[in-house]
Structure 1
Amino acid sequence: MTRLRNAVVAGARGLYLSIASLAGSITLFVLSVLSIAFILLGVGVLTTPVVLTAVRHWATLRRDQAGRWANVPIPVPYRPFPADIRSGVTGQVERCSLMLKDPATWRDLQWLFVDMIGGFVTAIFAPVLLAYWVYGVVLAVGVWEPIYDAGGGEWYGFIHVTSQSTANQAAALGTALLVLGVFVNPALIRGHFLLARTFLAPTATMRERELALRVDRLTETRHDAVDNSAAELRRIERDLHDGAQARLVAMGMDLGTIEALVDADPAKAKQLLAQARQNSGEALTELRDLVRGIHPPVLAERGLGDAVKALALRLPIATEVDVELPRRVAAPVESAAYFAVSETLTNAIKHAGADRVWVDVHHADGMLRIAVTDDGKGGAAIGAGSGLSGVERRLGTFDGVLAVSSPAGGPTMVTMEIPCELS
């Protein structure tokens, strides 16, 4: 029974895919060819990015269906657009150029051409094997006779139906096709998606290029991490020298003076003792602040979730924190994620004019995902000199990514992803 149900489901999906291959793929292929041809006339520069974006959405939908319907994973191979791409006509021209230079674009167009022929054929057999059986049964119950009387016989496959006997043979053949469909329909749908994967998946050359870009990015972010670490060490040294160390030196001098005055001028010695006590308290406070800036104790003791909640409690605006972390992540990733969230929240308070902030922290599919959303004025962007650029570099050290959605007028949503496993 399960096999029959799977065959029927595959037949329905095959019917959908065959219609989609004819209607969707043919339409997009024709529009793409025409739009690229019109680049010579100028108008294609504006239409091509729109059409190719539609092609990418169509191909991505098929990739998603391949994974869900046939367990055929197809990675997305498109090169990302640069973060500083311009808007308006200039931006459209730049998008057009970037899309046409992307090898995945031309493979998408090849897939559209193959899908409207080979994709249609592989998909249409699944519903035909089930539906054709119905027609054979209909012929056998008597419909063959009026057809024959009207001027000839009906062909059912290789059987010429001219009598009840041949009609029964047609029904038997239809039953055999039905049984065949029960066993091969899921394989036909899988074959359809395997054909699509031949064109929609990244090639070895594209994967090598992607790997090279990833290595370059990791090398760059590693250099940034080393530079940032050196700068952080210099800051710690400066803070210790100008802050706690200076107070401890002053306290030592006060204690030396007290030792000399304790018998000769007890009142003055008492006054210096109070000053030394104040200096020791201030030095301790500065050391605690310094340690908290290096690695907050709550982060080391209770993990990322509680550290972010503690951070939210100190903010001057209403902040909601939702954490789903059944176990802890590695300490370096925790530290990077914590300070990334801290910097993002600081931006929301200083620049966004937000009244409320939402923080979501969870782990799924081998990724630590963090989303920080505020109801501010929007307009945030990753650019030189912005705090978000520093966050991007910090995450890049761990092969993490940062995405920002911040239309004018808000809201702003900053999403961070770091590949990691829970301990």
Structure 2
Amino acid sequence: MTSPSISSSASSSTSTPYAPAVRESCFRRAVLSPWRGFVLTLIAAVNIGLCVTLTNAIGFLLLGAGVVLLPAGMAVTRALANQSRRLARDWSGVEIPEPYRPRPRFQPGLMGLVERCRWILTDPASWRDLLWTLLDPAIGGALAMIALTLPFYGIYGIVITSLWLTLTHAGFNDWYMFVHVHAGNEPMRWVPAALGAALIPVSAWASPALIRVHARWTRVLLAPTRRAELSRRIEHLTETRADAVDTQAAELRRIERDLHDGAQARLVAMGMNLSAAEALLDEHPEAARTLLAEAREASVKALTELRGLVRGIHPPVLADRGLGDAVRAIALDSPLTTQVSVELPGRLEPAVESAAYFAVCELLANAAKHAHAQRFWADIRHQDGLLRITCTDDGVGGADMERGTGLRGIERRIGTFDGVMALTSPHGGPTAVTLEIPCALSSPKTSTS
């Protein structure tokens, strides 16, 4: 496997895990724009049928047929809308969040169809999708059609010039821009070729620009409204705060259990040994000496357990040296060959540092335990108000958010700070996890020791 190139210098990449179109060359965008215009034109054509289908389904609800037709038509519409969102992201770097409400559980049979229709009709995103199917063929379809035909129209000008005599003798009578192509207009024969040759480089800029305009137009229609964004924001904050409370409670229970079963038990045993040694000191000094040695060993083990417990709560190196050095420290203890790259000109908030540190710890442990990796790369940097952490391993891949409680835990942990996680893990590897947490940097904290 080719290892990813990770540099410690400042990165010029975007601050989101998406926007791949930004990394495309101008030549690639120009070449692919006609094909992309063709795909978007097909979507606009399909939207015409979907608009008719959904309108009829809503009209036939009272007759019963719409109860079956509406869920099916809306399922296709949402799938096509999500595909359009992905194309806008991949081709133009325009991110369009999905505005749909979570799908509830429905009863089986006819009542389930009625509940599904009620859920669809009460979701504002459904009506925005219907508006998209109505307007996209007219506006989006026109933009896509121009992006598709513009380069070929330039080629067409050169072709009709080359075949002028053949075409006009066969009765061809048409216009190319302002030039009338017909028999008897031979003095204007080379003008279409000149216009077409000039149009081809213009189309190399105009067609990609039209694709970007189409993506922004799609965002206007399919992005969540301000009210929907606020509603989703409230739901997200409620969920993440509840997760934070549950996580904190679980952490307190773990600390209590570790103290009770570990250090506390050893301290109790050490106290009993000291009491017994005190009673035997005069008459049986050898036995007392043995008990004192056991007490000393118990104190060492208790101190070791307490130090381990403290490191599990908040490692001293994290508090003293910051996230970068803390990650380097765990990398030294890892059985994997680990490369850590850090670009943090300041210190993060302690809570953010702690969440990021334990997230990297979990990812490193997963790479060694579950992915059977040999190498691990961690790239940590702060850019545009975001802490961005990218962890990659050369393991077997196949990591799944739905089956991994550890990955879900990481997502919940950083979700408390409005962070997001992106996972790419095809079977056979490699696995790449990107974490992004909105935060600010303070001045670097130096240790006083």
- What residue number does 1:419 align with? 437
Question: Quick check: 1:18–1:120 contact (8 Å CA) kept in 2?
Answer: yes
2:215 maps to 1:193: yes
- Report the identity percentage: 20
2:292 maps to 1:273: no
SS of residue matched to 1:295: helix
**Among 177, 180, 183, which residue is 1:160 paired with?**
180
Alignment of 1:226-375 (within 5 A): 226-228=248-250, 230-231=252-253, 234-235=256-257, 238-239=260-261, 242-259=264-281, 261=282, 265=283, 268-296=284-312, 303-304=326-327, 307=330, 325-327=340-342, 331-334=353-356, 336-337=358-359, 357-358=371-372, 362-363=378-379, 366-368=387-389
Could you report, residue by residue, the CA deviation over 1:272-303 in whole angstroms, capped at 9, with x for unpaired residues?
Answer: 22122113313432342343234259965574
Question: Quick check: 1:26–1:112 contact (8 Å CA) kept in 2?
Answer: yes
Alignment of 1:31-50 (within 5 A): 40-41=64-65, 42-44=67-69, 47=72, 50=75
Question: Quick check: 2:160–2:192 contact (8 Å CA) kept in 1?
Answer: yes
SS of residue matched to 2:189: helix
Question: What is the rounded CA distance, in whole Å, between the counterparts of 2:208 and 2:162 in structure 1?
Answer: 30
- What residue number does 2:129 align with? 108
TM-score of the two chains, using structure 1 as the length reference: 0.66
- What residue number does 2:150 align with? 129
TM-score of the two chains, using structure 2 as the length reference: 0.63
Q: CA deviation at 1:357?
A: 4.9
Q: How large is the Cα RMSD of the aligned pairs? A: 5.1
Q: Which moved more, 1:326-335 or 1:181-190?
A: 326-335
Could you report, residue by residue, the CA deviation over 1:75-123 in whole angstroms, capped at 9, with x for unpaired residues?
Answer: 32334747x9689889998877666554444433433333322122112
Q: CA deviation at 1:196?
A: 1.7
Question: What is the rounded CA distance, in whole Å, between the counterparts of 2:131 and 2:291 in structure 1?
Answer: 81
Question: Quick check: 2:78–2:129 contact (8 Å CA) kept in 1?
Answer: no
Question: What is the rounded CA distance, in whole Å, between the counterparts of 1:129 and 1:416 in structure 2?
Answer: 39
Does the C-alpha gap of structure 1 residues 256 and 54 become closer, same or farther in structure 2, counting only changes over 3 Å?
same
SS of residue matched to 1:202: coil
Q: How many residues align?
A: 381
Structure 1 gaps, min length 5? 314-320, 349-355, 406-412
- What residue number does 1:120 align with? 141
Question: Quick check: 1:399–1:419 contact (8 Å CA) kept in 2?
Answer: yes
Q: CA deviation at 1:332?
A: 0.9
Larger proportion of helix: 1
Question: Quick check: 1:325–1:361 contact (8 Å CA) kept in 2?
Answer: yes
Structure 2 gaps, min length 5? 1-24, 318-324, 381-385, 425-430, 445-449
Could you report, residue by residue, the CA deviation over 1:103-155 in whole angstroms, capped at 9, with x for unpaired residues?
Answer: 44443343333332212211222343332233333333453x45444557333
- What residue number does 2:16 align with? none
2:79 maps to 1:63: no
Could you report, residue by residue, the CA deviation over 1:325-345 in whole angstroms, capped at 9, with x for unpaired residues?
Answer: 423996412554377569989
